[in-house]
Amino acid sequence: ESLSSDKQTGFHFQPSRNWMNDPNGPMYYNGVYHIFYQYNPSGPHFSNQMHWAHSVSLDLINWTPLDLAFSPTEPFDINSCWSGSATILPGDKPVMLYTGIDSKNQQVQNLAVPKDLSDPYLREWVKYSGNPIISLPEGIQPDDFRDPTTTWLAEDGKWRMIVGSQKDKTGIAFLYKSDDFINWTMNDAPLYKVENTGIWECPDFFPVWIDSTDGVDTSVISPRDRVKHVLKFGLLHHAKDYYMIGSYNPEKEHYVPENELTDSTLRFDYGKYYGSKSFFDPVKNRRILMAWVNESDSEDDAIAKGWAGIQSFPRTLWLDGNQTQLIQWPIEEIEMLHENEVSFHNKKLEGGSLHEVEGVTTSQADVKISFKLTNLEEAEELDPSWIDPRLICSEMDASKKGKFGPFGLLALASHDLTEQTAIFFRIFQNNGRYVVLMCSDQNRSSTKNGLDKMTYGAYVDIDPQQEEISLRTLIDHSIVESFGGGGKTCITARVYPTLAVGNEARLFAFNNGTESVLISKLNAWSVKKARINIVEETIRCTD
């Protein structure tokens, strides 16, 4: 019996009830996509008895729930089964690594394998009897050692994985090696570490082609001049995932990032997006990214809803042509859910005007819009004291008139616009260059109080003189997931309108700047409801 609520999503992954956080062990095996996730079967809150729930899909859109994959039952995981990752071993054998909290409340790394490889859904998993395969390293606090990655194989025939940790506030990706997947030894030097960042959660380490949008299998290390490596980790205190792009040398076990970790470090998403994990999809030869998007309402709201936590819509990810950042884009399977397309070209949006997009179910929609600007010499100067784009977005919210901008979309808007989530751009000039700022403004997203309505913002690395400024936004009741500049800058927000719900929700293109902008193209679709974790569809284990 799935709970009906106007906040429940139509095409974003969520369990029918209870608490969910990180995606775990996403993989493709033998015709089936698997997603596991951190789950508390006893209620809509995090607990000290975390489980792995499990769903399968043939298309990454519709998901069938299965029985729980891991429950805290053994001395090596009796106090929780925490996050981990899948690896498909040669010979097409999936294995799972996960963190257990053991009977001494220490974090340890465990191995598990499917019970029956001929079961198309891999419903039952067997924990290795010799667990843990890696115990807590000396000198590391018991709760600072977790989240093993998908492993990779280097030319020396040894498997490698990293595990997130910290020592004296230095965030660390410990590197482990193994010949047989059972016996693991820690490399003297970690793969990477950064002082004063605290524990690194859910690290991810994977190659990307420098000259192709295709995905790269995690074990591909060469040709060395065709791949770069991405190291991603979550900083607990910021609840943010950061990534670096660099080169990896497996002989020296050396990772050299090209960008530093600073406040402006690259992020997959500048809104709510944490515990992300990617996997290689051999069917469509792409790398897919998913992440936990937590709630912005309260624990009481979670109890009222009966659930908390959703997953981002899966994104394909690849290296931008300039090789300095990643591009992310909703997987093409979303088109299966498209209906009622509306589109138009070349519509001028005068300064201070609105244009309603009608004909789509705007509480569950996919919207693409592109803007073309002329006379950019008129753009405002960027105040050099403004360093943090998020702060510019919160000080200059959607209601503050500029010259070029704010222009963009008003999603989940009520009839009188008291409720609206504004996703918009502003153009500035700075020393003869043009700067594109992207914001997601949740200030007016709901008339309800007690919500986190924080504004998000980031720059988009495009030249508005040469390129149109594009925005794609996935709207799904309580989530607004936006992709600026063709996926260069992504911002995900959670919102809980009280008026702009269901058929009452409206969608507008807006321009609250003084200069006019041209909408060169708009396409919008209603997105049909996907079949996601409908409990009656549970495939039960039969003896």
Q: Is the CB of 274 or the CB of 425 nearer to ligand FRU?
A: 274
Least Å distance between CB 173 and ligand FRU?
13
Among residues 61 and 202, whose Cβ is nearest to ligand FRU?
Answer: 202
Spatial separation of the C-alpha atoms in residues 224 and 96, rounded to whole Å: 28
CB of 21 to ligand FRU, least distance (A): 5
At residue 387, φ and ψ (nearest 5 deg) are -100, -40
Give residues with Cβ within 8 angstroms of 177, minimum separation 6. 158, 159, 160, 184, 185, 187
For ligand FRU, which is the closer residue by CB, 192 or 274?
Answer: 274
What's the CA gap between 518 and 516, in Å, rounded? 7
d(CA 164, CA 200): 5
Q: How far apart are the first and last CA of the chain?
A: 25
Binding residue for ligand FRU, selected from 99, 131, 276, 445, defined by CB under 6 A: 99
Which is closer to ligand FRU, CB of 53 or CB of 435? 53
Residue 497 near residue 297 (C-beta atoms within 8 A): no
Chain residues 184-203 in contact with ligand FRU, contact rule CB under 6 A: 201-202
Beta strands in 168-298 (DSSP E): 170-178, 185-186, 192-194, 200-209, 227-235, 240-249, 254-257, 274-281, 286-293
CB within 8 Å of 347: residues ≥ 6 apart: 355, 509, 518, 519, 522
SS3 of the chain: helix, strand, coil, percent, to 5: 5, 45, 50
Under the binding rule (CB under 6 A), the answer on residue 82 touching ligand FRU is: yes
Considering the complex, state which of residue 20 and residue 373 has its C-beta at the smaller distance from ligand FRU.
20
Q: Which structure tokens are listed for 15?
A: 């369990």
In the complex with ligand FRU, which residue's Cβ is closer, 19 or 63? Answer: 19
Q: Whole-number minimum distance, CB 459 to ligand FRU, in Å?
A: 27
Among 62, 71, 83, 440, binds ligand FRU (CB under 6 A): 83
Rank residues 22 and 366 by Cβ distance to ligand FRU and give the closer one.
Answer: 22
Binding flag, residue 97, ligand FRU (CB under 6 A): no
- Per the CB < 8 A criterion, the answer to whether 345 and 482 are in contact is no
Determine, following the binding rule CB under 6 A, whether residue 22 of this chain makes contact with ligand FRU: yes
Q: 292, 20 in Cβ contact below 8 A?
A: yes
Is 393 a binding residue for ligand FRU by CB under 6 A? The answer is no
> Which sequence positions are flagged as catalytic?
22
- In the complex, minimum distance from the CB of residue 40 to ligand FRU, in angstroms, rounded to a whole number: 9
Footprint of ligand FRU on 300-359 (CB under 6 A): none
Q: Which residues contact 135 (CB under 8 A, 6 or more apart)?
A: 106, 108
Confirm or reject binding of residue 272 to ligand FRU (CB under 6 A). Answer: no
Beta carbon of residue 202, minimum distance to ligand FRU (angstroms, whole number) = 5
473 binds ligand FRU (CB under 6 A): no
Alpha-helical regions (H) of 276-381: 299-305
Establish if 21 lies at the interface with ligand FRU (CB under 6 A): yes
Smallest separation, CB 237 to ligand FRU (Å): 12
Query: What does the alpha-carbon distance between residue 84 and residue 35 come to, in Å, rounded to a whole number?
Result: 11
Q: Give the distance from CA 451 to its chain's centroid.
A: 21
Residue 118 C-beta: closest distance to ligand FRU, Å: 31
Q: Any idea what the Cα angle at residue 509 is, between residues 506 and 511, rounded to 5°?
A: 130
How many chain residues interact with ligand FRU (CB under 6 A)?
13
| 276 lies in the site for ligand FRU, by CB under 6 A | no
Judged by beta carbon, residue 8 or residue 276, the one nearer ligand FRU is 276
Which of 147, 419, 441, 515 forms a contact with ligand FRU (CB under 6 A)? 147
Strands 364-372 and 227-235: unpaired
Could you tell me the smallest distance in angstroms from the CB atom of residue 311 to ligand FRU?
A: 13
Among the listed residues 283, 301, 511, the one whose alpha carbon sits nearest the alpha carbon of residue 407: 511
Categorise residue 275: left if φ over 0, alpha if ψ from -120 to 50, beta otherwise: left
Task: State how far Cα 102 lies from the chain centre.
Answer: 29
C-alpha–C-alpha distance, residues 242 and 234, integer Å: 6
When binding is defined by CB under 6 A, the residue of 51, 54, 146, 506 that contacts ligand FRU is 146
Contacts to ligand FRU by CB under 6 A: 21-22, 38, 50, 82-83, 99, 146-147, 201-202, 274-275
